[in-house]
Structure formats: structure tokens, C-alpha cells
Amino acid sequence: MTITATDSRTHRTSARRRPARTSMLKSTRFSSVTRPRRSALLTALTSIALIYSLLPLVWLVLNATKPQAELFTSFGLWFSDSFHLIENIAATLSYDDGIYTRWLLNTILYVVAGAGGATLLAVAGGYGLAKFNFPGRRAVFAVVIGAAAVPGTALAVPTFLMFSQLELTNTPWSVIIPSLISPFALYLMWVFAAEAVPTELMEAARMDGASEFRIFWQIAAPLLAPGTVTVALFTTVATWNNYFLPLIMLRDSSWYPLTLGLNAWNSQASTAGGEAVFDLVITGSLLMILPLIAVFLLLQRFWQAGLSAGSVKE
Amino acid sequence: MTVAAPVAHVADPAESSQPPVATPPPRRGKWTGWAFVGPFMVVFAFVFLAPIIYSLWLSLFRDQMVGGNQFVGLENYIQAFGDQQLWRALGRVTLFLVIQVPVMLGIALLVALAIDSGRLHGKNFFRIAVFMPYAVPAVVATLMWGFMYGTQFGLVANFNDMFGLNIPSPLAPEWVLLAIGNIVTWQFVGYNMLIFYSALRVIPHSLYEAAEIDGAGQWRIITAIKLPAIRSAMVIATIFSIIGSFQLFNEPSILQAMAPNSISSSFTPNLYAYSLSFAGQQFNYAATVAIIMGVITMLVAYVVQLRGMREDMR
């Protein structure tokens, strides 16, 4: 607290000398208007939102440690008598000849091919839109932005109808191909590429006789890396969490991603003769969200930058 | 294909990315840009434009008992306009969005303002923890809340037992819309909070200092500086929340297994289109419903944007 106070005083004095520069410095170094006091009351009030956000996750972790019978007999927000987490994980992975692992591998396939492909297309497309003037460029912009306003799920039924005509349904392609397009990703890379890749650098490379492909690959791509990571992260989340599209496209459960698989396990209890496996649904859910949470925590810098690029630009 | 993806401005980017657009670098061939944009546009045409055109085409036909697939002009649309189930579903999502969107955005805004004020203890933890549910797939979020809602082994049952209460089941027909609203709010509060927070962070702090010198309190600073400054972020968040509400599908579809009596197959327009095509094989009519919903959604989004922008100019 004392350090902050001294700090701000030094800034004050220098502010008189160089107003423009210090006001910039201030905004990055200080979180708010002149020396905000930490408020216990505000912290407590905001904690309500915090508890709301974390409560279901805490519930999930606690209940992943219970055998199915004790789900019904124990208090939801505390451990039960037996600690079955390891047993539950083992049961989740081995149930029905290890179908969970198959679903996990499917999900990874859809993410790598779908989100990976979406990222590549968006990076190349955004770079092309930002750095080249070509016939039809305005039309591309208009069409893609217009399409971004078309709700994704409204497209799903028509896409299914078209894919079933082409006999693509019930194959991995039916999930991967629609995942390849993200208008948001294209927009983000466009804005990013416009600022990150200096045109002079491209010109210099052209003088040296580099091909356009080489300029893209060796000069632009490294400069585009931060934007690429952001886009990859968001398309990964979209693909990893995708439910509606695979639900429509896939009949055969061996092509299911985890989202569909977990839902199938859950619905199993309400079908005639189906075995209730709530313990596996809960443990499977926990296992499914851990990788994404880990990725989000590790790559904070990128998704936060991505959100500001998408929303803040005036 | 997800509604949750942080989507770009609908109209702004044309303006904001104008500088790089207006001064294109000199190049070798004027078609070079297409080499980079082409791949995106080819896939885009296949998964965005083709399904839209195909469903427009489908909506003009009808599979009839006598005569097979026949051209019926606008008959499907006329049928849709008199379809009680569709309008009741639309009424339901409208009621949902009128309540859920303001509550969600309100909470998101309060948390964003609290974090931005710099008065919280551990503000980074708040920011990340409140955002975390965004990484949780809709399927897992719905399953978790569905279990917690349960009067059998859920938290509701626990509280009823512990305190001798008689909380009605959130999955009962009268409460289920609220129960779904809570799940959606839980998933997206953090995401919207982050959009608002990113917008708040770029406000020049010299404005706050000037306001303080003029004797403005915290409340004045919020209403006179902060809120107007993040108006465009609020408009965007509103538009995408509205689109998300109209497209409501995942949560009711998954809850259906847990509450079959509360959620009919035409609970939301999207669920209706889905059951028309997959349970009823009425593909032509399903395509018609999807198109009508797409048009309504775009109209509403457009009106909100227009209103938001007009007030901007005042």
C-alpha cells in the first residue's frame, strides 16, 4: 500500500512535466482512479458472483469421488464416506469396452482437423484480406460479415439435409467440414494481420525475389503467431464443446465426440432396461473439462487479448 | 458453428479496418490475394452459402402422399404462419430473452465494473474464476445443473431434507424455463464480463482524473464516463445474447432426458425444427422453420444494432 502511494506521487510530479506520456504509463500501471482503496465490502459482494461461478464445478469435483449409490445418500456439497475417485476414473475409461477413450480420440480428431483447419484458413484468409487488394475483396467482406450474423444453429438443419444428399452424414467429415469456417476467426486475423505485418517488410522481401508463399510462410507467419494462438484457442473450444452439429450428423456412436457420448450415458438411465451410470457421467464430465480449463489457464494472455480485439476496437 | 464464439462487430469493422484497406500495397498480380483468401471462400461457400440456398429451395417443395415431391410455392411459409407450435415456441424464447439477457448482462456488467474499479482483493482470481464456466461445454453444464436441480439426489433434495423445506423441482413445467435461464446465465456471465472488462480497460485514465478534479464521485464516473465508453461493447454483447436466445437448443435438448414432461419437442423453435426433420421426416417444413427463424433473428439483431448505434451518435 505504501509503495503504491509513493509510486503514484512520483507519477504525479512527472505528470506535470510530460503529461501525455505519463497518463499512458498510469493507465497501464494503475488499476483505477487515483489510489483505489481495496474494499472488503465490494470484494464480499463480488464474491457472490464468484461462488455462483465456481459452485457447480466444486459440486462436480466432489461428486466425482462418490460411488453411484452414495450420490443419492450423501450431501451434494461434501464428500461421502467412501473416496472412489480413482475407481470412478477407471470405470469411466473401461465401461463398454473403453468407449470413452474412443470418444476422446474422436474429439481430438475433430479438434485437430476442424479447429486446426479453421485456424489455417482464417490466418491465410485474414492475411490475404489485410495485405492484398484484389477484385472482389469488398464482396468477400460483405458476404462473410453478413454470414456471421446468420445464427450457426439455423444452418445446421440445412447443412444436414445437404450433407445427407452427398452421403457425408455419419462420417467424421460431416463434423470436420462445417467446423472449418469461423467468420469471427477470419475477422480477428484480418484486424491482427493489418497491424502485425509491415507492408515495407513484404516489399523488401519481394525486391529480394521471394515468392508470395515464402513471404507468407517465413515472414508473415511468425509475426501472426499471437493472433494465431488466440484463434486456435477459440476454435478449439468451439469444436471441443460442439454438440448440435455432431448430434445431427452422427448416428453411429463409435464416431461420437465426448459431448454426445456423455449425453448418451445420461439418457441411458431413462430408457427402458438401460443401466443408470450417473457416477460415470459425472466423472466423465470432469475428465472432459479439465484439459480445456488447463489450456485456458496456461494461455490467459492470448484469450484476453483476443477478446479485446474482438470487442474493443472502436 | 457455435453461438458462443466471440463474434466480431457486425458493421463496425468496415470502418475500423478501413486504413489498411484503403492503402493497399503495390503488388505483382492483382489476383494474388485470392491465393490466400480462396481456400477460406471455397469452404465457406460449401458450408455457409450452399446450405442456405439449398434450404431456400427445399422450402418451396413438399413431400406429398400422392404425387411425391412437389413444388408448392410459398405454401410451407403459409403453413408456418398459422403454426401454433412454432409461435408458442417463439413466444417462449422471447420471454426467455427478455428476462435472461438483461439479468446476465447486468451481472456481467456489475462484476466487470467491480474488477475494473481496482478495489477488489485478488482481482485476477475473480476475473479468471468468473470466466471459467465458458470453458465448460453446454452438455456438461446442463448435466451438472440438471443433477443439482434434481429432487432425488440433487442439491434441491439436500436442502429440502436438511431444512425441512419444500422447494419445488426446478425441472417442473412451470419452472423449467427459469432453470434453463440459470444454466445459460452461468455459462456466459464470465464471457460477457470479460468483453465489458476489456472495453473498460482501454478508457484513458486521464478522464477519471479530470472528473475527480471536477468533484465527480465514483457513481458519476461510472454513469458519465465508463458506461458511455463501453456502449458499443454492450450493443455487441446484447446482439449476440439475443441470437443465442433465439437459437436455444442444447440446454433444453439435454434436459429433456431428465424432465420429459416439462420440455416438449417444440419447446424452442430450434428444437422444433430439429424434431420436425429427425422425428417427423418433414425436411421441407423444417427448412422453412429454420429460414423463418434465421430471418427473425437477423431482423431483431439489426434493429438492436441500429438503435444502439443511433444513440451513439446523439
Contact A289 B136 (CB under 8 A): yes
| Rounded-to-integer distance, Cα A250 and Cα A238, Å | 18
Contact A202 B25 (CB under 8 A): yes
Sequence ranges of the domains in chain A: 1-37, 85-311
Domains and CATH numbers, chain B: 82-313 (1.10.3720.10)
| Rounded-to-integer distance, Cα A164 and Cα A174, Å | 9
Per-residue pLDDT of chain A (314 residues; tens, 9 = 90+): 333 333 333 343 333 344 444 444 444 444 445 567 888 888 989 999 999 999 999 999 999 998 888 887 788 888 888 888 999 999 999 998 999 999 999 999 999 999 999 999 999 999 999 999 889 888 888 888 777 666 666 677 788 888 988 999 999 999 999 999 988 888 888 888 888 889 999 999 999 988 999 999 999 999 998 889 888 988 998 899 899 889 989 999 999 999 999 999 988 877 777 788 889 999 999 999 999 999 888 888 777 766 665 443 33
Distances (CA, A) of A3 to A7, A9, B123, B266: 6, 10, 19, 61
On whether any CB of chain B is under 8 Å from the CB of A94, the answer is no
Contact B136 A144 (CB under 8 A): no
The per-residue pLDDT of chain A, averaged, comes to: 82
| Rounded-to-integer distance, Cα B244 and Cα B228, Å | 25
CA-nearest residue of chain A to B289? A154
| Rounded-to-integer distance, Cα A90 and Cα B42, Å | 44
The listed CATH number (1.10.3720.10, 3.30.1020.10, 3.30.750.24, 3.30.43.10) that belongs to domain A85-311: 1.10.3720.10
Contacts 24+ apart (CB under 8 A), B154-159: B154/A76, B155/A59, B155/A76, B155/A77, B158/A75, B158/A76, B158/A77
SS (H, E, C) B248-286: CCHHHHHHCCCCCCCCCCCCCHHHHHHHHHHCCCCHHHH
pTM: 0.84
Q: Which residue in B5, B198, B218 is closest to A308 by CB distance?
A: B198
Q: How many CB atoms lie within 10 A of CB A36?
A: 16
| Rounded-to-integer distance, Cα B265 and Cα B287, Å | 16
Min Cα distance B66 → chain A (Å) is: 22
Q: What phi-psi label fits residue B68: left (phi over 0), alpha (psi between -120 and 50 degrees) or beta?
A: left
CB B225 within 8 A of CB B206: no
Per-residue pLDDT of chain B (314 residues; tens, 9 = 90+): 333 334 333 334 444 444 444 444 445 578 888 999 999 999 999 998 898 888 889 889 888 777 778 888 888 999 999 999 999 999 999 999 999 999 999 999 999 999 998 888 888 899 999 999 999 999 999 999 998 888 766 778 777 777 877 778 888 888 999 999 999 999 999 989 988 998 888 888 888 888 888 888 888 889 889 999 898 889 888 988 888 888 899 999 999 888 888 899 899 998 998 888 888 788 889 889 988 988 888 888 888 888 877 655 54
Interface confidence (ipTM) of the complex? 0.84
| Rounded-to-integer distance, Cα A163 and Cα A174, Å | 7
DSSP letter for B26, please. P
Q: Which residue in B140, B152, B294 is closest to A154 by CB distance?
A: B294
Chains A, B: CB contacts within 8 A come to 392
